[in-house]
Structure 1
Amino acid sequence: MYHTWMRYFTPGPVHHRLGLVCLGVGLQHGALPTVGPRTLDHHVAVVISAGTGWYRTPDHRLTTVTAPALIQLLPGVPHHYGAAPGPGWDESFVDFTGTAVTAYTELGYIDPDRPVLPLTDTTAARAAITRIARAARRGNPHLEVETSAAVHELLVALRRSRADTTGDTDPLLHALARDAFLPLTVAQHAARHGMTPAELRTAVRRGAGCSPKDYLLGIRLGRAKELLAATELPVAAVARRVGYTDPAYFSRLFTRRVGTAPVRFREHQGRAMPGGWSSTVPDPEHPPVIGPRPSA
């Protein structure tokens, strides 16, 4: 016996320009029928929250699926899977497509080489899928936009909960972020952690979805923007604070990556606040306000 609920959508051309669009969503559990063999023209994220089953690759290799787990179905790749005999499993799925899939794949959020991925938890992923299901009510004029946003959220949630990564607690990434403003090369960063540059590249790409150079550069430029927007420090001083001893090189790099020169970026912000900048992240439950807080 099994129970199933599903909805399918047909986003228009303008919705496809959002980068990701949701094509369908389903929530089901029990001794579900076997899926496939079949081949689709889009992606599907199948989240298994309870139970066990199997997945058969195109070359007929059998992989055991044990919850919590993610089954990634890729366009053009034959797949065949199902719950183990007995009570079955708890499954939710989201069909999606879009131009942003390429970027998510390059960043490691979609892994074409590993159709079955163990997860540490499915709570966040199921929450995103539930938002899609709620948006799927008949007559919702915001259906395509709401479900598109939730697909982005789902991919992030699945990446954070993958059992082969450490999410936000990766000690290597924290250490690199801490040392990002030191004038060190990637090779020197690697040596500080007892790694070769190749090992560091592998570890950072696995944890952050990018190269060590891009990871460090993102942190440096983010801090440079903060200093340019919120202080009156000269550009040369900003460059030194974020790890660049050559202000001219910093300006060229900033202009190339940001699209505008540091001085022009500061002019556009117009928010210099000497002494008024806080480095403390506000509590989302109690953000800064100018008036009395609303009563609970």
Structure 2
Amino acid sequence: MYHTWMRYFTPNPVHHRLGLVCLGVGLQHGALPTVGPRTLDHHVAIVISAGRGWSTTPDGRRHPVTAPALLWITPGVVHHYGADPETGWDESFVDFTGPAAATYTELGYIEPDRPVVPLADTGPARAAVGRIARAARRGNPLLEVETSAAVHELLVALRRARADTDADGDPVLQALARDAFLPLSVAEHAARHGMTPAELRTAVRRGAGCSPKDYLLGIRLGRAKELLVGTELPVSAVARRVGYDDPAYFSRLFTRRVGTAPIRFRDRQVHNVPGGWSTEIPDPNDPPLVSGWSG
């Protein structure tokens, strides 16, 4: 015995330019029928929140699936899976496609070589699926945009929920972020962690989807922008604050990556608030308000 609910959509070409579009959503539970063997031309994320079952790889080997887990179905790859007929399972799925799927794959959010991914928690992922399901009401004029946004959210939730990811984040990435403004080479960062540069590259690529150099650069340039906008420090001082002893090199690097020179970036910002930046992240449930505002 099983129960199922599903909806399917056909986004138009302009919606595909959102990067990802949702093609379908479903919520099912019980001793569901076996699926496949079959191939699809799009991606499917299947979140198993309770129960157990099995899945086979393209070479025919069968692997157990125990909740909480994620099944990845990728385009053109044969898949075959099913719930244990004795226990069944609780399943929610989202079909999606779009050019951004290739980028999410490159960044490690979608893992074609890892079709079964153990999860630590399915709550946030199921919440994203729930938003898609609620948007699926007939006649919703915002359907395609709402569901597209939720697919992006779902991929982030699934990446964060992987059982092999520490709840507080990857310790290597945390340490790199902490030391990002020190004038250290990638080799020196690796040595601080007892790793070779190749090992550090592998760890950062898996955790952040980029090289250690790009990961550090993103943090440095983000901080440089904050200092340019929120202080009156000269560019040379900003460069030193974010780890560059040569202000000319920093300016060239900033210009190449940001698309404008540091001084022009500062001039274009209309919200200069010298001394006004806070290091505390606002509570979204209790955001800061302008006291005494009367309208």
Structure 1 length-normalised TM: 0.97
Is the CA contact 1:7–1:24 (under 8 Å) kept in the aligned structure 2?
A: yes
> Pairwise mapping of residues 1-296 of structure 1 onto structure 2 (< 5 A)?
1-166=1-166, 168-291=168-291
8 A Cα contact 2:48 2:89, kept in partner:
yes
Q: 1:169 deviation in Å?
A: 2.7
Instruction: Give me the whole-angstrom Cα distance separating, in 2, the residues matched to 1:275 and 1:13.
Output: 47
SS in 2 for 1:169: coil
Range 263-272 or range 214-223, more displaced: 263-272
Q: Distance in 2 between matches of 1:59 and 1:277?
A: 55
Structure 1 letter corresponding to 2:60 = H
Counterpart residue identity of residue 14, structure 1:
V
> Do the aligned partners of 1:43 and 1:97 also contact (CA within 8 Å) in 2?
yes
Tell me how far apart the structure 1 counterparts of residues 102 and 292 of structure 2 sit (CA, whole Å). Answer: 46
Shift of 1:174: 1.3
Q: Which AA in structure 2 matches 1:137? A: R
Shift of 1:139: 0.5
The offset of 1:167, in angstroms, is: 5.0
Report the aligned-residue RMSD: 1.1
* Contact 2:52 2:87 (8 Å CA) reproduced: no
Secondary structure at the counterpart of residue 90 of structure 2: strand
How far 1:62 moved relative to its partner?
0.7
Judge conservation of contact 2:30–2:87 (CA < 8 Å) in 1.
yes
Q: Counterparts of 2:96 and 2:168 in 1: how far apart (Å)?
A: 26
Percentage of identical aligned residues:
80
Quick check: 2:28–2:90 contact (8 Å CA) kept in 1?
yes
Return the offset for 1:206. 1.8
Q: Deviations over 1:102-129 (max 9, x none)?
A: 1101110001111110000100000000
Deviations 1:193-236 (CA, angstroms, capped at 9, x unpaired): 11111111111122222211111111100000000111111111
Distance 1:121 1:281 in 2: 24
Deviation (angstroms), 1:100: 0.3
Hey, what's the Cα distance between the residues in 2 that align with 1:272 and 1:156?
32
Q: Is the 8 A contact 1:166 1:207 kept in 2?
A: no
Unaligned runs of 5+ in 1: none
The CA distance in 2 between the partners of 1:254 and 1:70, in whole Å, is 39
- What CA deviation, in whole Å up to 9, does each residue of 1:88-147 have, x standing for no partner? 000000000000011101110001111110000100000000000000001000000000
Amino acid at match of 2:245: T
